[in-house]
Amino acid sequence: MNIITKNQTPASRIILGWMRMAKCSAEELEQLVEASLQAGINFFDHADIYGKTESERLFGEVLKKHPKYRDQMIVQTKCGIRPGFYDNSCAHIIASVDASLKRLQTGWLDVLLLHRPDALMDGDEIGKAFNQLKKEGKVRYFGVSNMNTGQMEYLQSRLEEPLLFNQLQFSLVHSSMIDAGIHVNMKTDFGIDRDNQILYHCMKNRITIQAWSVLQASWEEGTFLDHPSYPLLNEVLERLAGHYQVTKSAVALNWILRHPAGMQAIIGTTKTEHINDLAQATTFELTRPEWYELYQSVGKKLP
């Protein structure tokens, strides 16, 4: 990943996601943005559907009050999810970007992602939209979200612009991308290739994976931190947190960042006091034995 802010600052490995920000006040979000930038987190992830557009609007209010922040940031949004269907048509992509720019109160997006695979997506149409947005200076870089290898290869064959990002669910508990690679040719569920080796496709093509739900076990269970269903995982996290003098959440994020794919980790905290704790994930590096110990602490075994 080699994108930079307008003032030549490299993109941070940690991204602050805005999916839940609509419930916060403008003042709280102003403090959250300031704390993030001070902690070295300069990448902000949006989507047109977050908070039914309210998350983007509130971020725009922060930028309106602090226009100097914009050149210090990488602002990313996503489009393509509509009520009851997906829409990656040329017309919808362009209209979505224009609406997002207005809500975000900025003249350009650093990154635009297609939010979900649209079964009816036409690569030539998408290419037309991307070319227009790039030519008009509205979007600098492009990517996708939740797409597999075949979908990315198809789109890239029709696009002039490189796809630089893919947002995928990945964590200590949700690690199918890793499982399939470890259990190659094994007659176990862990050996099932669920995404056509998307991890290695991204690594081969230098596409940055942006991991989402990095601290979540499932929608039903919530976070795996201190969850009674994951006692050994939390025991190992606690021990390593003490060793590195960081929080358990920072250890869980470092497990993602430690992978040679060079992933980014999307955090969703709405609490200013948690920003520095999570930013600690970039201050140390788990050893190989520690990384594998964490992997196996959720009940997975090496073949």
* Residues identified as active-site: 50
Q: List the end-to-end C-alpha distance of the chain, in Å, as a whole number.
A: 32
227 exposure class (CB count in 10 Å sphere: 0-12, 13-18, 19+): middle
Q: Characterize the bridge pairing of strands 43-45 and 139-145.
A: unpaired
Q: How many CA atoms lie within 13 A of 63 on its CB side?
A: 21
> What letter represents residue 193's amino acid?
D
CB atoms within 10 A of CB 242: 11
3-state secondary structure of 10: strand
Sign of the torsion formed by the C-alpha atoms of 174, 187, 181 and 238: positive
- Quick one: which of 9, 7, 85, 84 has its CA closest to 40? 9
